[in-house]
Amino acid sequence: MILALTIAILVTGSVYLIQQRGMVRIVFGMSLLGHAGNLTLLASGVGAWRGEPFPDRTPLDVAADPLPQAFVLTAIVIAMATTTILLTLAALGRDDDTDVPEPADDNIAADPVATLGRAAGNGGK
């Protein structure tokens, strides 16, 4: 139950943060969601058994389920990669404000970020 409460707090925080303004804050929210997911995975291994899964030093009747731990390791590392990418996206551009107004009608070629028209006039070099 305590674990469920922890997960619930993480999910609440995460959902609140991802509705805020500013990429960095949303990234923190996703980070919390990742934590919640990891704890859920560990909880699925039934937290009544908490011995470290080393058969040579932990008796079998208290050893924890090793499979969710492997899952969580994979998930943590993938989340690290994704968080780094998200932070890069937050650092690029004008700023990290996510409440972007959509321009009414825009001349696409007049933006330094637009890459269209690369192949124009040269037969697609």
Partner 1 sequence: MDWTLPLFAAVPLFTAAIAVLLPWRWARDVLHIGIPVAGIAAGVWLFAHTAVNGPIAHNVGLYVGGVAIPFAADTFAAIMIITTMIVAATANWFATISGETVSRYYASLTLILITGVNGALLTADLFNFFVFIEVMLLPSYGLIAMSGTWARLAGGRAFVLVNLAASTLLLIGVGVLYGVTGSVNIAALQGVAAGNGPAVVAMGLVIIAVGAKAGVFPVHTWLPRTYPESSAAVMGLFSGLHTKVAVYMLYRIYVNIFDLEDRWNWLIIAIMVVSMLIGAFAGLAENSIRRVLGYQMINGMPFILVMLAFTSDDPQRALAAGLLYTLHHMITVGALILTSGAIEETYATGLLSKLSGLARRDPLVAALFAAGAFSIVGFPPFSGMWGKILLVFEIARAVDWWAWLVIAVIVIASIGALLSMLRVWREVFWGKPMQRYPKELRVSGRLIAPSAVLMVGSLAMFIFAGPLIDATLTATEGLLDVDGYAHAVLGEDPIGVPDMTDLQGGR
Partner 2 sequence: MNDQGTVRGNTEAPAQASPSFLTFIGGLTLLAAVSIAATAAGTTNLQGILASDFWSQRPELTVPVAVLVAVSAFTKSAQLPFHFWLPEAMAAATPVSAFLHAAAVVKAGIYLLLRFSTVFHDVAVWNGLLIIAGMTTAVISAAFAVQKTDLKQLTAYSTVSHLGWIVATIGVGTPFALAAAVVHTAAHALFKSSLFMLIGVIDHEAGSRDIRRLGRLWDRMPFTFGSVVIGAASMAAVPPLLGFLSKEGMLTAFQDAPYSGLLLFVAAIGAVLTFTYSAKIVFGAFIDGPRDMSKVHEAPVSLWLPAALPGLMSLPLAFLVGLADAPLEAVTASIGAEHESHLALWHGVNTPLLISVAVLIIGVIGVVFRKRIWPALEGRKMFPSSGNEILESGVRVSTLFGRAVGAMANTHNPSRHLLPLVLCVIVLGGATFLSPGVDGITPAPRTAGLDNPWDLIPLVIIAVSVVGLAITNSRLSAAVLIGTVGVGMSLQMMLLGAPDVALTQLTVEALTVIVIMMVLRYQPNLFPKVKSGRRQIGALIIALLAGAVAFTGVHALLGRRERSELAMWYLTEAPEITGGQNVVATILVEFRALDTLGELSVLGMAAIVIAAVAHSMPRHPFKEGTRPAPFGQSQLNSIPMRKVIVLVIPVLAILSVLVFMRGHQDPGGGFVAALIMGAAIGLAYLSKGQDGIVFRESTPVWLTGIGIMTAVGAGFIGLLEGSFLYAIHGYILGEHMTTSLIFDLGIYLAVLGMLTMAINALGGYLRPGVDVNDLNYARIDDGGPLPATPTIEPGDDHVEAFPEPINPADAPRSVLVADAETTTATDKETDR
- Which residues bind to partner 1, rule: CB under 8 A? 18, 23, 26, 30, 33-34, 36-37, 40-41, 43-46, 67-68, 71, 74-75, 78, 81-82, 85-86, 89-90, 92-93, 98, 100, 105-109, 111, 113-121, 123-125
The distance of closest approach from Cβ of residue 99 to partner 2 in the complex, given in angstroms and rounded to an integer, is: 6
17 binds, among partner 1, partner 2, none (CB under 5 to 8 A by kind): partner 2
Biggest alpha carbon–alpha carbon distance for the chain: 73
> Chain centroid to CA 64: how far?
26
**Measured distance CA(104)–CA(75) in Å, rounded:** 41
Alpha-carbon torsion (10, 11, 12, 15), positive or negative: positive
Compute the radius of gyration of the chain from its Cα atoms.
23
Looking at beta carbons only, is 9 or 108 nearer to partner 1?
Answer: 108
Report helix, strand or coil for 72.
helix
Smallest distance, partner 2 to C-beta of residue 4, A: 4
Give 63's DSSP letter.
B
Q: Closest CB to partner 2 among 54 and 124?
A: 54
Site for partner 2 in 52-91 (CB under 8 A): 52-57, 60, 63-67, 69-70, 72-74, 76-85, 87-91
